[in-house]
Amino acid sequence: MKLAISNISLPAYDHNAELTQIGTTAIAGIEVAPSRVWHDTWHGLASSDVNRYRHQVEHSGLQIIGLHSLLYDQPDLHLFGEPAEEIQLLNFMKHLSMVCRDLGGRTLTWGAGRRRGAVPRAEARERAIGFLMRLCDQVSDHGTVFCFEPLGPEDDDFINTSAHALDLVKAVNHRAFRIQIDAKALVENGEAKLAAFTAVKPHLIHFHANDPGLGVLGSTGQVDHAALGRHLRAVGYDGWVTAEQRMLNAASPLTDITRSTAVLRQCYGNIVDA
Q: Which of 268, 148, 153 is CA-nearest to residue 217? A: 268
Give the residue extent of every domain in the chain: 2-268
**Cβ atoms within 10 Å, residue 168:** 18
pLDDT value at residue 208: 97
Give per-residue pLDDT as tens, 45-70. Answer: 999 999 999 999 999 999 999 999 99
pLDDT digits (tens, 9 = 90+) for 168-210: 999 999 999 999 999 999 999 999 999 999 999 999 999 999 9
Q: Are 191 and 228 in contact (CB under 8 A)?
A: no
pTM metric for this prediction: 0.94
100-154, pLDDT tens digit by residue?
Answer: 999 999 999 999 999 999 999 999 999 999 999 999 999 999 999 999 999 999 9
Residue ranges of E strands in the chain? 2-6, 29-32, 63-67, 107-110, 145-148, 177-182, 204-209, 240-243
Please provide the CATH number assigned to the domain covering 2-268: 3.20.20.150
